[in-house]
Structure formats: structure tokens, C-alpha cells
Amino acid sequence: MFAWLIEHILSNLPSWLWPVVAGAGATTYFLARIVDTFPTIKPYAFFVKPVSFAVMLVGVFMYGGAGITAIYQAQINEMQAKMAAAQTASTDANGNLHTKIVTKTKVIHDVQVVIKERIKEVEKKIDADCKLDPEATKILNDAAKNPLGATK
Amino acid sequence: MKRLLILAVIAMLTACASNKTVVSMQFPGTPDELKTACPDLATVDPTTQKLSDALEVVTANYNQYYLCKDKVDNWLDWYNTQQKIYNSVK
């Protein structure tokens, strides 16, 4: 949560802020000598140099981070655009495949309906001429059974 | 001054190393028709002596085979298409 908050805040800061911070730090660092010339603020001169140096370092560090983040962000955006296009293509391909499946399944079912009708037409003739031996049925059923067990 | 510049460059590079990003692609979907397994073959009623009954079951099984073959063909079609789409994202 804390990391997310920090990341959210940092990502919303303008990119020009960090060079400004670094520049301000560097400027203060080099102008620290001037502080020595003013007797009233001279005691603070001791802090000005390290603090301005630290500020400059933070600014430079964050500027480096912001720069590379911008490069990564551009790459991420490019990749996300490609992925969105791929997902659309994938959905379209599935839609086309669905249409193809429905058409082909209907053709196969229609053939089966015709075959059933043809069997009915000659049913009496077939059954009159030929009687099915129970052994033949058993062989047929054994052959139809899945050797790997029933389908789950 | 020189040390300052070296330190500044190191600080910048350290910031580069601390970045991490995750971009993941969603697994492609499949038509619902492909999500069901092929059923087992139908068997003939062992008590029947009518050849027409056996013929009906055998032809139904042939039909079932073509439905199942079509399903396998469609899976191959789906795989090849999705692979092409996936490989195009680089």
C-alpha cells in the first residue's frame, strides 16, 4: 500500500521537477560560499553544503529514474497497443471459427437425418431378410467400448 | 567537481536499476463448442435381433466420428490461428 502510494505520487509529478531540484541543489551548493560572507547566517553555512548536495543527488537520482521510466512507459504503451490488436484479432478469429463449426455441425447432422430416414425406408426389408445373432451384437458392442474407460 | 559528476552519474544509473514493469498477455478464449469432450460410441441393445437397430447405431457412431473429427480439426485450426496472432506480438 505504502509502495503503491509512493509510486502513484512519483508517477504524477511533472518530469521537469527533478532537473529543477537537482539544479537548485547544485546552485545552492556552489553559492554556499556566499553564505560565509554574511555573519548573521554564517553558522548555518555548515548545513547548507551537505543539504544542498543531498538535494542535488536526490534530484539527479530521480531524474535518472524518471527518464528510464518514460522509456519503459513508451515501450509498455507500444506493447499494450499490440496486445489489444492481438486480442481483437483473437476474438475475431474465434468468431469466424464459431461460424464455421456451426455450419459444419449442421451439415453432419443433416446427413445423419437422411441416413436415418433411409434406414426407416428399408427397415422391414432388412429385418425380414436377416436376423441379428446375439454374438454379433456382443462383438459390435465390445468394439464400440472405449478401451481406455468411459469418457469423463 | 569531478567526484561530484561521477557521483551524479552513479545516482542516475542506480535509478535505472530500480525500475521494474510487468506486461502480461491474456490467454486467448475458445468457442464453447470446442470445450466439450467427445462422447463414447453408442452400443446396440443386446436383446435386439433386428439388423436395422444395429445399422442405426453403427451409422450414428459414424456420424459421431465425423463430429469428433471436426472438433479435432477445429482445435488445430484454433491453435494455428492463435499461435500466428501470438507470434505477431513482439
Domain contains A124: no
Percent of chain A whose predicted confidence (pLDDT) is above 90: 44
Tell me the nearest-neighbour CA distance from B35 into chain A, angstroms. 12
Nearest CA in chain A to B38: A151
Tell me, what's the pLDDT at B46? 92
Residue A149: left (phi > 0), alpha (psi -120 to 50), or beta? left
Domain boundaries, chain B: 2-88
- Residue A56 burial (C-beta neighbours within 10 Å; 0-12, 13-18, 19+): buried
Tell me, what's the pLDDT at A48? 84
Q: Which of A6-43 are b and which e, b meaning 16 or more Cβ less than 10 Å from the residue's Cβ?
A: eeeeeeeeeeeebeebbeebbebbeebeebeeeeeeee
Average pLDDT on A45-74 reads: 87
Domain contains A25: yes
Q: B1 vs A64, A95, A130, A138, CA distance in Å?
A: 19, 65, 108, 97
* Predicted-assembly ipTM surpassing the 0.90 threshold: no
Domain contains A88: yes
Asked if B55 lies within 8 A of A119 by C-beta distance, the reply is yes
Domain contains A127: no
Chain segment A19-32, per-residue pLDDT in tens: 999 999 989 888 88
Chain segment A89-110, per-residue pLDDT in tens: 999 999 999 999 999 999 999 9
Average pLDDT on B47-64 reads: 94
| DSSP label of A13 | S
Tell me, what's the pLDDT at A34? 79
Domain contains A33: yes
Asked if A60 lies within 8 A of B31 by C-beta distance, the reply is no
Average pLDDT on A59-77 reads: 88
Domain contains A138: no
pTM for the full predicted model: 0.69
- Domains held by chain A: number: 1
* Owning domain of residue A56: 2-101
Backbone angles phi, psi at A148, to 5 degrees: -95, 10
Residues in CB range of A16: below 8 A, 6 or more apart? none
Return residues 22-41 of A near B (CB < 8 Å): 22
Asked if residue B3 has pLDDT above 90, the reply is: no
Domain contains A78: yes
Look at residues A140, A46, A8 and name the one whose alpha carbon lies nearest to residue B57. A140
